[in-house]
Structure 1
Amino acid sequence: MLISWMELIVISLASFRLTRLIVFDKITEFIRSPFFVEEVEVNENGEEELYYVPKSGGINHFIGELLSCYWCTGIWSAAGLCLFYLQWPAFATPFLLILAVAGIAAIIETIIQRYL
């Protein structure tokens, strides 16, 4: 099944936002926390920096590695959203539009923060 350019853009923006939501956003920290160990290191200025390292061994390590890789999570997010849209377009469309609009807002905010 082929999709239109507009559908591709919406799904792409939705995938971008969903990936950032899963990998970086504070609101989904509860999803990531079972798969990471917090490590504190002191940098050259004497300041403490917090790092999240995937837990060792088994499925926790695998999921931790997946969640720490933006590109890996992006592939799975894109696959899930595409399958959701192709299987149930009527249910997926509102969800995709919300994520796509949020993705555009995130891009605009990044540009404003960087250049203004």
Structure 2
Amino acid sequence: MTTDAVRRYDDESDEPLAGYAVLSGAFATGLAAFTAVARRRGVRLPQRVPPWDVALLGAATYKASRLLSNDKITSFVRAPFTRRTGEGEGPEVMDEPRGGGVRRAVGDLVSCPFCTSVWLAGALVCGYTAAPRATRLLCAGLGAVTLSDWLQYAWTWTQRTARE
């Protein structure tokens, strides 16, 4: 098997598999490092995670991933790895990855809210384990912004419907 074949799914693919492997390794290394440090410091895993906390973590993960991957204000984070392709709804923009290798893989990651949500959920779960009160507060703030966004869109939809 050639080296080029290992890097691609097929002859037409331009997926940066090596870059994805680097990012996956970084994610796994980060979790392993957190686990080692937490264990050394005596951090104990929660006995259970109440459904309310799962919902709060979910809403916060949703909003944080949208902020990172689509918000105009966070464009500076994505700019080295993506290019602007258009405007989205509200404060959102559409970006696509650019470059090759790790740069392209990072572009794929930071321009996709589904992809970034895994990383952000990992960070929030680590925070929930080490500092549950602070993490709940952060998640409550992001959850409030999520609710606010939904209300903004509902208000806009109501205004449009009333005009028609």
Q: TM-score range by the shorter chain?
A: 0.7 to 0.9
- What CA deviation, in whole Å up to 9, does each residue of 1:24-67 have, x standing for no partner? 11111110101013569xxxxxxxxx963312222211110112
TM-score (norm 1): 0.79
TM-score (norm 2): 0.58
Give yes or no for contact 2:83–2:97 (8 Å, CA) kept in 1.
Answer: yes
CA distance in 2, matches of 1:51, 1:78: 22
Listed as ranges, the gaps of 5+ residues in structure 2 are 1-46, 87-92, 160-164
Report the structure number with the largest CA radius of gyration.
Answer: 2
| Aligned equivalent of 2:97 | 54
Listed as ranges, the gaps of 5+ residues in structure 1 are 41-49
2:138 equivalent to 1:95:
yes
Identity of aligned residues (%): 24
1:20 to 66, 74, 77: 66
Which protein has greater RCO, CA pairs closer than 8 Å, 6+ apart?
1
| Aligned equivalent of 2:118 | 75
CA spacing shift, 1:57–1:7, aligned 2, 3 Å: same
How many residue pairs get matched?
Answer: 107
More strand by share: 1
1:64 to 97, 102, 107: 107
Report the 3-state secondary structure (helix = DSSP H, G, I; strand = E; otherwise coil) of the residue aligned with 1:34. Answer: coil
